[in-house]
Chains A and B, each alone.
Chain A
């Protein structure tokens, strides 16, 4: 792991930028193409790239598998919670008008932001979880035999 110097340096530099871009896509989703799905995948890519270059065990230190599983569940709960909150306010499930009855379009913005946040969290979690699930399996071929 001590060769590939360029790869390691570039990955370290890029990871932050990828995450920043993920946040941009996440929170700019209601003005331009993007949203939770895309942002979640981009965010997950930051972790996966790090894992591919430095080894899956390294990335597991910062992003432990149990935490990833909780994230997956948390995102769905954020999504459903938004809907339940609108139901609590006396509107239909996921009726964003509930969040700002005076200005339904503001309510739509807030509602979509909350829902997309949930989607983003879940997608990040799922993609990283899928990566962990496959990368953590004991290899049937040794690294030296490739």
Chain B
């Protein structure tokens, strides 16, 4: 607490390293209003890109600081953690921060061309401003250690997402209804989350996640805590598009502008999955019977259902964007499956898949965006044969497709491999078989995509040129990352294992930090 006495002690000035956690949020947050204030259409992309690069650099530095299992605590406004808002960075969220800011940085050059083609020029400043706010929100959800702060950042990202999706209305008016549906469902989800937080606050009298965890550990499970858990899982489940709560996702991804789809598919649901992980393992205890039961008897079947049903629906889509959207739902199933295994390998798999699926879907949706630039549509019949005239784009998409299936040598293989290991470790071999079987469904829809792209001749009227370099370079980088992380697994698996250990370590690690933070004061 910033009382008079503590400030009598000579204040040691904070260095830039100390300020890193808040800079992660502050850079995009300041850039967003700056765009509007300057109001220049020409500079708006440049400022967005610079902000994104800086945020990426900060997240690399943060991951570097915590990669060995440490943690950083940052108190906002000089109020010590249990009372004030705290940003807490450990391996788990540093990794997700890296994913979000990294994806944002790589796709922005792609967005430059794509946005110019799909959105009226007078909206560009506001578009990029919304984009930055969305980035701020997603980063904030991940970095914060305060439960209510999660809700605030969640709503910052959600509200800007609704607006971003609605900007697709210039191309297809169904973007408006998609955004409206997402707004209604997203708000219900966020409100459920707040109700859950209210119950947690009733039970514990605090909002700091680590403090909540400590107090829950003291009092054990009771009905208030169970209710809180149920509301939080359902609320975040809506945001993460857990299978029966996914109805907003296909339309939102299909009708949003391509650049927005790439960004959302690669990051938004991942942030929600991260929150589920954080709350399930750092706030609530896996030792609680109700939590184990929820995951085993509710989340696990739903995850399996998502893997099969969503993949099956994806096979019959006539629009490539929608096909990939359903495939995203199936992939979210794998992440939930990893969480539902509730062992270290399973959670490692969930975090690795979160990362690998992020880069995989970024390639695929960028490929669709590049094709849309040339053909004006993502319908399968309109993009026939485009693989022949856009070799780089199509090649990148094939790499992404292979990673989606989980072919050895791609990032997707690694995460599925760890996931199968997790299932076998638990002795649930039927689950392992189902993981492999559902991958076969992915083979079908990826083959369909390849067939359409290569094995027919281009339709008349399409612009038969390769996508510009601003689009192909990000795609090649992401496709390269898909292959790279398929071989160099020590970064992804290493960070994820540390993260999983941190999460499963339960509250003990977190309580220690609280104590050191309060003792140190300033």
Contact = CB atoms under 8 A, between A and B. Distances in A.
A97 B39 CA distance: 34
A97 B2 contact: yes
Contacts of B30: 77, 80, 84
A95 interface: yes
A83 B77 CA distance: 8
5 contacts: A73-B34, A76-B33, A92-B22, A93-B26, A95-B78
B33 A77 contact: yes
A17 B7 CA distance: 42
Interface in A60-98: 66, 69-70, 72-77, 80, 83-84, 87, 89-97
A18 B209 CA distance: 42
A70 B34 contact: no
Contacts of A38: none
Given A84-B26, A104-B2, A91 B33 contact: no
The 7 closest A-B pairs by CB, nearest first: A90-B13, A95-B78, A73-B33, A73-B36, A76-B33, A73-B37, A94-B77
A70 B22 contact: no
A80 B351 CA distance: 33
Contacts of A77: 30, 33-34, 37
A35 to B, nearest CB: 16
A97 B33 contact: no
A93 B19 contact: yes
Interface in B2-32: 2-4, 7, 11-14, 19, 22, 26, 29-30, 32
Determine the main DSSP class of A at the interface with B.
helix
Interface string B396-436: 00000000000000000000000000000000000000000
Given A69-B36, A70-B39, A73-B33, A101 B77 contact: no
Given A96-B77, A97-B2, A104-B2, A91 B14 contact: yes
B75 interface: yes
Interface of B: 2-4, 7, 11-14, 19, 22, 26, 29-30, 32-37, 39, 74-78
Contacts of A75: 33
A70 B36 CA distance: 6
Contact of B78 (A66, A69, A73, A91): A91
A96 B77 CA distance: 7
Contact of B14 (A66, A69, A90): A90
A44 B38 CA distance: 23
B11 A93 contact: no
Contacts of A58: none
Contacts of A70: 36-37, 39
Nearest to B5: A104
A57 interface: no
A3 B36 CA distance: 40
Nearest to A100: B7
B72 to A, nearest CB: 13
B22 A87 contact: yes
B160 to A, nearest CB: 13
A108 interface: yes
A136 interface: no
A103 to B, nearest CB: 8
A94 B87 CA distance: 13
Contacts of B13: 89-91
Contacts of B35: 73
B84 to A, nearest CB: 10
A48 to B, nearest CB: 21
Given A70-B37, A73-B36, A92-B77, A97 B7 contact: yes
B243 to A, nearest CB: 36
A66 B78 CA distance: 37
A95 B37 contact: no
Nearest to B21: A93
Contact of B22 (A93, A101, A104): A93
A74 B38 CA distance: 10
A101 B39 contact: no
Contact of B76 (A72, A92, A101): A92
